[in-house]
Copies of this chain bind each other. A is one copy, B any other.
């Protein structure tokens, strides 16, 4: 069951302004994992694809840390250890924070929520998907010489492939090879950009600085294949939890599906 929850963190003393917030949040998260189980922390650290996303922002004194978990086993022990560790204070860089509030439902905060895989499978089919990219988003692909190539553009294929890849990885019922190949072809060639407005900005993602884009896009699937529309619907729901593209554990690729477009 994918979860998204927020920690409202208040400084234990002073008025800290953490400089490398995404890196500190990452460090805190692994500290918490180690407190659950050092072996688990090591396994997750070594995974190429991380089963969580983190995004932190400072609002006056408060740091709002949004955590999403894609791995079903992660949410409950994580919440437990957060509450335990909070007594001694949670560190962001050199500064100690207390958990003022945990917001884990959409009633508590619109960026929080959870959904069962069963509910996600029955998401309403979509022919049009409007996404807002709240934090800088970038896609990583491999060049033929093995080097990494970064694409800070909302290319429909890369957006949907990123989501599909998360779905395949975490869903208990991933698409089989045949369906997967069919979806890949549609995402490659048949999704149209109906509307788009983006700009790039530089982003400190841990120790590296990358160019990502923020803004919004509306993708349109002009054909009528029920299976594709169903997949787009599911992936749109998943996006809230998985984010899109690279460096989502450092706050990049935070997206929201726009349900009632004001565009």
Count copies of this chain in the complex: 2
Which candidate, A76-84, A92-100, A106-114, A143-151, is the interface stretch facing chain B? A143-151
The residues of B that contact A151 with a CB separation of less than 8 Å are 193
Task: Check A196/B152 contact, CB under 8 A, given A144-B185, A144-B189.
Answer: yes
Q: Which of B144, B185, B196 contacts A153 (CB 8 A)?
A: B196
Interchain CA distance A185-B147 in the complex, whole Å:
14
A101-145 contacts to B (CB < 8 Å): 143-144
Which candidate, A197-205, A237-245, A254-262, is the interface stretch facing chain B? A197-205
Interchain CA distance A155-B152 in the complex, whole Å:
10
Instruction: Please give the distance in Å from A138's CB to the nearest CB on chain B.
Output: 9
State how many residues of chain A have any CB contact under 8 Å with chain B: 23
Instruction: Please give the distance in Å from A198's CB to the nearest CB on chain B.
Output: 6
Any B CB within 8 A of the CB of A161? no
Q: Chain A binding site: helix, strand, loop or mixed by DSSP? A: strand
Any B CB within 8 A of the CB of A190? yes
The residues of B that contact A155 with a CB separation of less than 8 Å are 153, 155
Instruction: Please give the distance in Å from A141's CB to the nearest CB on chain B.
Output: 8
Contact: A213 with B190, CB < 8 Å?
no
Task: Check A197/B195 contact, CB under 8 A, given A149-B190, A189-B149, A190-B143.
Answer: no
Q: Which of B149, B192, B195 contacts A150 (CB 8 A)?
A: B192
Provide the A154-197 mask, 1 if CB < 8 A to any CB of B, else 0: 11000000000000000000000000000001000110111111
Interchain CA distance A196-B144 in the complex, whole Å:
25
Interchain CA distance A196-B198 in the complex, whole Å:
8
Contact: A197 with B196, CB < 8 Å?
no
Provide the A208-223 mask, 1 if CB < 8 A to any CB of B, else 0: 0001010000000000
The residues of B that contact A200 with a CB separation of less than 8 Å are 193, 195-197
The residues of B that contact A143 with a CB separation of less than 8 Å are 189-190
Instruction: Please give the distance in Å from A173's CB to the nearest CB on chain B.
Output: 28
The residues of B that contact A195 with a CB separation of less than 8 Å are 200, 211
The residues of B that contact A196 with a CB separation of less than 8 Å are 152-153, 198-200, 213
Q: Which residues of A contact B (CB under 8 A)?
A: 143-144, 149-155, 185, 189-190, 192-200, 211, 213
